[in-house]
């Protein structure tokens, strides 16, 4: 058991290095000094405390969106509304803080609570339609992401827009509402602690509570869950409500932690990063923390080379896509020869190709 | 409402067809993949890549046809990549599709920057556009002319492909095998059908259709490529296919409905309604339609 977990860890680590190399080396070769590019990407994030802080800031939404995706995936739900929930959650939080007269101390908690509830609708509505009418949560959540985007932009343009600012951005978020910074010289804020605590609570929820156990049964084997007489519809809906609340809360935390004004003009992409984080962490909430840190380390490295050399930071998107692909590839991850090579013993039981990973809802 | 007369409504037809074309082409691609049991979630990324390659290839060769062929080829290649991910790497279908979308968004921006030094737009590339087609005699008939003539060449391709795909799926041996694979891969394999080959082929053809839809975006709808220009149209196509209930004609009507919603939204923007709210319409209509269909299916199941 421990050996196979170790093998999986080793394979993942080697794959990640290979993937980063495959994308980065050819791009670096285009530059006059390839070694300087690679050096900046790999070691640059650690040379300056501010950049190391950036890794932790960026990992914060990654952890929370990853947690939201993981909780829904564990229940077998391919709900991709995390992206829209994150966006709408951030917007509703800023709108509450700006429009509702609140005492200073209440701004952040009330704003985040309202943001979480409003934003969670992007995950909850597909969840409800799935539970009530058996409509595909995959397709409806993809649609509602864009609906949330345009409704959000409407609210910014008509209710929150600061006419003195040049671009379409909101009024300034009041200082009282901002989340406190934790480490001098970086922008690490209270949200990081909330995110780490969220991952720990997520572990408790999934593995130590009745509700989490039920959702894992439904996700692993719906027929068995039905046979047990579990309230499947309610369990599915509950997972997606929780996921939506977490993702939308993450959007609000991101806004109050890092931003001066609401300035997103499009979907920020954190939800998709959350999918990659969750898959990399094998839907295990504890592992979300290193997975999110790793992906944001890549992002910071990408930003550094794009600022210092003529390399667009989009290269990181290619790395993310490849990570998603190879980590879900059971031909690599469950390859019996590879596993035997690493654990150093003959595991005859591994001969079978293993259970299928997350069956697609293509029907 | 008196200013909206019949002729006024008719003038809407070209706009609706224009908006419907990329959705329909992509939705037909999704249809073929879905019937083979390998729903193509990478449709958004394939569309974006098709749009990008169309601009680059036509700028490089100076020929719009070469751009279109390039877009079709890259769509097919990405279909093959997705098939490889599913069948060789044994990765999850939906996650591979999401990976393809992420990679296409990043890859097109990266390549655009390496080629032009600009991350946002392909303005500096002298790309070509595909022509509009005027049908000789029909164009002169008052109402019929507006309806049938003067549209973009890919609009005709899209609508002519509907019966083509429909006949292929329901009336040919290969189409029957494809549907059998989608219905039950195990039974199809027992019946001697090469499931992997059918699914690989379906994804390649699917990609070619989606790539064509992408080419329309950058070589018809507008004449340039811009970052993330597919803007969720691939996902709308996915919704259209789901609404179309797995038939080519159903997919066409669903695409037309969503295209009309988008065209009306664009037209109403000019009348002082908030444009952002109008832009939500094409994304909300599929959700409502999905619910209506799902309810009807539930009721039918309950009665059976």
Q: Which domain CATH number covers A243?
A: 1.10.3470
Q: Which of A22-26, A155-159, B78-82, B127-131 has the lowest mean pLDDT?
A: B127-131
The DSSP element (H or E) to which A226 belongs, if any, is helix A222-228
Does residue B157 belong to any structural domain of this protein? yes
pLDDT of residue A65: 96
A204: domain range? 31-310
Distance of CA B62 to the CA centre of its chain: 25
> Hey, are the CB atoms on A151 and B276 less than 8 Å from each other?
yes
Q: Any idea what DSSP says for residue B121?
A: B
Judge: A146–B93 Cβ closer than 8 Å, yes or no: no
To the nearest whole angstrom, how far is the Cα of B58 from the nearest Cα of chain A? 24
Residue A109 host element (H or E): helix A104-133
Is the pLDDT higher at B227 or at B268? B227
Q: How many CB atoms lie within 10 A of CB A26?
A: 11
Which chain B residue shows the shortest CA-CA distance from A31? B114
- In this structure, is residue B271 part of a structural domain? no
Could you tell me if B71 and B215 are in contact, meaning their C-beta atoms sit under 8 angstroms apart?
A: yes
Residue A23 included in any domain:
no
Find, among A178, A180, A183, the residue nearest to A50 by Cα: A183
Query: Is A7 within a domain?
Result: no
Does the structure show a pLDDT above 90 at B42? yes
Q: Is residue A194 part of a domain?
A: yes
Can you tell me which residue has the tokens 């094998």? A282
- pLDDT confidence bin for B280, thresholds 50/70/90: confident
Q: Is residue B282 part of a domain?
A: no
Give every residue of chain A whose pLDDT is below 70, as ranges. 1-3, 345-363
Cα distance from B63 to chain A (closest Cα, Å)? Answer: 29
Can you give the residue range of the structural domain that contains B23? 6-230
B288 — contact with chain A (CB < 8 Å)? no
CA dist list (Å): A350 to A2, A5, A129, A346, B88: 15, 13, 40, 9, 19
Nearest to A312 among B113, B279, B286 (CB): B113
**Do A324 and B99 lie within an 8 Å CB cutoff?**
yes
* Contact across the interface for A328 and B110, Cβ inside 8 Å: no
For residues B117-138, give the mean pLDDT. Answer: 76
Please report the pLDDT score of residue A255 as a whole number. Answer: 94
| Domain total of chain B | 1
Residue A333 belongs to a domain: no
Q: How confident is the model at residue B14 (pLDDT cuts 50, 70, 90)?
A: confident
* Cα–Cα distances in angstroms (integers) from residue A31 to residues A240, A244, A310, B110, B111, in the given order: 46, 43, 8, 14, 15
- Under 8 Å CB pairs connecting chains A and B tally to 157
DSSP B151: E
Q: How far is the alpha carbon of B85 from chain A, nearest alpha carbon, in Å?
A: 7
Q: Considering only CA atoms, which of A3, A1, A2, A10 is closest in space to residue A332?
A: A10
Closest-CA residue in chain A for B278? A150
**How many domains in chain A?**
1
Q: Using the predicted structure, report yes or no on whether residue B266 has a pLDDT greater than 50.
A: yes
User: Is residue A325 in some structural domain?
Assistant: no
Please check whether residue B242 touches A, CB under 8 A. Answer: yes
Cβ atoms within 10 Å of B217's Cβ, excluding its own: 29
State which H helix or E strand residue A3 sits in.
helix A2-29
User: Is the CB of B294 less than 8 angstroms away from the CB of A357?
Assistant: no
Domain assignment present for A206? yes
Q: In what helix (H) or strand (E) does residue A45 lie, and over which residues does it extend? A: helix A44-47
Region B158-170: mean pLDDT is 92
**Portion 246-285 of B in contact with A at CB < 8 A:** 274, 276-277, 279-280, 283-284
- B270 vs chain A: nearest CA distance in angstroms? 16
Q: How far is the C-alpha of B75 from the C-alpha of B79, rounded, in Å?
A: 6
Contact A332 B89 (CB under 8 A): yes
pLDDT classification of B120: cutoffs 50, 70, 90: confident
Percent of chain A with pLDDT over 90: 52
The answer as to whether A82 is a domain residue is: yes
| Among the ranges given (A91-100, B86-95, B290-299), the one the predictor scored with the smallest mean pLDDT | B290-299
Query: B5 pLDDT exceeds 70?
Result: no
Model confidence band, residue B151 (pLDDT cutoffs 50, 70, 90): confident
**Average pLDDT of chain A, as a whole number:** 87
A1-40 pLDDT, tens per residue? 566 777 788 888 888 888 888 888 888 887 788 888 888 8
All residues of chain B having their beta carbon less than 8 Å from the beta carbon of residue A158 are 274
Alpha helices in chain B (DSSP H): 6-10, 12-35, 43-61, 64-87, 93-116, 142-148, 153-171, 173-183, 185-190, 195-216, 233-243, 248-269, 275-303
Average pLDDT, chain B: 87
- Between A347 and B261, the more confident residue is B261
């Amino acid at each position: 058991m421990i050996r196979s977990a170790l093998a999986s860890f080793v394979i993942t680590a080697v794959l990640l290095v290979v993937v980063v190399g495959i994308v980065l080396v050819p791009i670096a070769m285009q530059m006059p000094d390839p070694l300087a590019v690679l050096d900046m990407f790999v070691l640059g994030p650690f040379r300056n405390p501010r950049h190391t802080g950036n890794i932790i800031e960026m990992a914060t939404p990654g952890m929370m969106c990853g947690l939201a995706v993981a909780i829904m995936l564990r229940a077998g739900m391919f709900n991709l509304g995390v992206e829209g929930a994150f966006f709408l959650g951030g917007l509703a939080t800023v709108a509450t803080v700006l429009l509702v007269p609140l005492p200073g101390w209440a701004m952040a908690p009330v704003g985040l609570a309202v943001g979480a509830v409003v934003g969670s609708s992007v995950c909850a509505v597909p969840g409800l339609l799935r539970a009530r009418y058996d409509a595909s949560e995959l397709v409806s959540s993809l649609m509602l992401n864009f609906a949330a985007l345009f409704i959000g932009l409407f609210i910014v343009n008509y209710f929150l827009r600061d006419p003195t600012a040049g671009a379409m951005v909101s009024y300034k978020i009041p200082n009282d509402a901002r989340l406190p910074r934790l480490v001098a010289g970086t922008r690490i804020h209270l949200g990081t602690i909330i995110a780490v605590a969220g991952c720990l609570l997520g572990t408790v929820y999934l593995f130590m509570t009745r509700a989490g156990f039920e959702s894992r049964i439904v996700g692993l084997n719906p027929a068995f869950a039905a046979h047990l007489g579990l309230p499947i519809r309610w369990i599915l809906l509950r997972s997606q409500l929780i996921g939506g609340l977490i993702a939308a809360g993450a959007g609000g935390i991101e806004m109050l932690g890092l931003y001066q004004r609401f300035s997103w003009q499009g979907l920020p992409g954190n939800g998709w990063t959350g999918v990659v984080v969750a898959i990399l962490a094998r839907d295990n909430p504890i592992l979300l923390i290193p997975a999110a840190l790793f992906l944001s380390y890549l992002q910071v490295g990408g930003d550094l080379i794009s600022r210092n050399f003529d390399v667009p930071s989009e290269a990181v998107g290619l790395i993310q896509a490849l990570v998603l692909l190879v980590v879900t590839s059971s031909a690599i991850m469950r390859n019996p020869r590879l596993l035997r090579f690493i654990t150093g013993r003959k595991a005859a039981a591994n001969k079978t190709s293993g259970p299928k990973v997350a069956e697609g809802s293509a029907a | 409402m008196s200013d909206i007369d019949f002729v006024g409504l008719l003038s809407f037809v070209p706009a609706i067809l224009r908006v419907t074309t990329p959705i329909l082409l992509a939705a037909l691609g999704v249809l073929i993949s879905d019937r083979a049991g390998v729903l193509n979630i990478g449709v958004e990324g394939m569309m974006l890549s098709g749009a990008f390659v169309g601009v680059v290839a036509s700028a490089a060769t100076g020929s719009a046809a070469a751009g279109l062929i390039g877009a079709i080829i890259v769509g097919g290649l990405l279909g093959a990549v997705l098939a490889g991910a599913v069948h060789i790497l044994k990765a999850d279908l939906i996650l591979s599709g999401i990976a393809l979308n992420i990679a296409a968004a990043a890859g097109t921006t990266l390549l655009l920057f390496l080629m032009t030094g600009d991350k946002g737009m392909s303005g500096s590339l002298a790309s070509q556009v595909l022509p509009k087609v005027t049908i000789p005699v029909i164009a002169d008939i008052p109402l019929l002319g507006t309806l049938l003539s003067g549209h973009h060449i890919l609009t005709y391709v899209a609508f002519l492909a509907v019966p083509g795909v429909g006949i292929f799926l329901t009336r040919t041996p290969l189409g029957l095998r494809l549907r059998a694979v989608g219905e039950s891969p195990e039974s199809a394999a027992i019946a001697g059908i090469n499931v992997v080959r059918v699914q690989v082929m379906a994804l390649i053809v699917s990609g070619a259709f989606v790539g064509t839809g992408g080419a329309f975006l950058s070589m018809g709808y507008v004449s340039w490529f811009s970052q993330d220009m597919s803007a969720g149209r691939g996902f709308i196509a996915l919704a259209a296919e789901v609404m179309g209930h797995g038939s080519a004609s159903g997919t066409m009507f669903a695409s037309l409905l969503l295209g009309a919603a988008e065209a009306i939204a664009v037209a109403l923007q000019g009348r002082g309604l908030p444009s952002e709210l109008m832009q939500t319409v094409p994304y909300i209509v599929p959700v409502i339609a999905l619910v209506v269909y799902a309810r009807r299916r539930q009721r039918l199941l309950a009665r059976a």
